[in-house]
Every structure is written in structure tokens, then in C-alpha cells.
């Protein structure tokens, strides 16, 4: 099973930036795709963005479009999430996820087999 390790979370004020990293033990994004999810306090986990082997990305939350950018470095099996102009509503635990074989990284949790431990992002107003 693919091992995933997120890093880069922290506490920032509104308008600040953070860059999350997700290091995978296998070349998952190069072969298939990966995704970022988040779970805010008291809410369901939701998909933020998927990135595919060819570099395409699908963002699932309208409020992050134009502020968040996903990227990959396939040489080191790492996916990044650059988050700019962070807002208090972005406060959540952020997870990266690797899909089940032959699944295509949609927004549903059941499509994913491996999850990282999560990294906390806290944005204060």
C-alpha cells in the first residue's frame, strides 16, 4: 500500500500563505493521480483538488479556485498544494490521498485506498 506523508501545515493570519507537501512512497501521481482533501471541525471531509499524471488538475471547491494551486514533482513522488490568501474558512486538517487501482481521483472518498495522516491548517482572522 502506498504510504503518504503530508507536511507544511501551520497557523497563519488571514491573507497568509502556506505550502503543503505530500510525499508518496511510490510513483502514484506519475502513474495515475492524487488528490487533496480537507476536513473542517464538525464537518465532513471534502475533496479540494485532484491532479493527474499529465499535470491537469480539477478543483472541487469554488472558493479555493484562484487561491490554491496544486502541482507535482514526479521525480520525488511529491504533490504540493500552494495556498494563498488563506481565509478562516480554510481552517481544516488537510489530507492527501492515493486512489484505488484504475480509479481516476474523483471527489468521492471511496475512490481512494491510501491516506496520509493529515496536516493541520489554522487561519485566524
pLDDT in tens, 1-58: 889 999 999 999 999 999 999 999 988 777 889 999 999 999 999 999 999 989 999 9
Give CA angle at 101 (3, 61), nearest 5°: 75
Buried b (16+ CB within 10 A) or exposed e, 64-95: beebbbbebeeeebbbbbebeebeeebbbbbb
**Distance between CA atoms of residues 102 and 64, nearest Å:** 27
Range 69-90 average pLDDT? 96
Cell numbers that stand for 48 in this block: 479540494
pLDDT for 19 = 98
Give the residue-averaged pLDDT of 87-111. 95
The residue with cell 481552517 is 91
Amino acid at each position: 500500500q502506498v504510504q503518504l506523508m503530508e507536511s507544511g501545515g501551520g497557523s497563519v493570519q488571514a491573507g497568509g500563505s502556506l505550502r503543503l507537501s505530500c510525499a508518496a512512497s511510490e510513483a502514484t501521481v506519475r502513474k495515475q493521480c492524487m488528490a487533496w482533501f480537507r476536513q473542517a471541525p464538525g464537518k465532513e471531509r471534502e475533496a479540494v483538488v485532484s491532479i493527474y499524471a499529465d499535470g491537469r488538475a480539477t478543483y472541487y471547491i469554488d472558493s479555493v479556485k484562484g487561491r490554491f494551486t496544486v502541482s507535482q514533482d514526479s521525480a520525488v513522488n511529491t504533490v504540493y498544494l500552494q495556498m494563498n490568501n488563506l481565509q478562516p474558512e480554510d481552517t481544516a486538517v488537510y489530507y492527501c490521498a492515493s486512489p484505488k487501482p484504475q480509479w481516476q481521483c474523483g471527489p468521492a472518498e471511496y475512490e481512494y485506498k491510501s491516506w496520509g495522516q493529515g496536516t493541520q491548517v489554522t487561519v485566524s482572522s
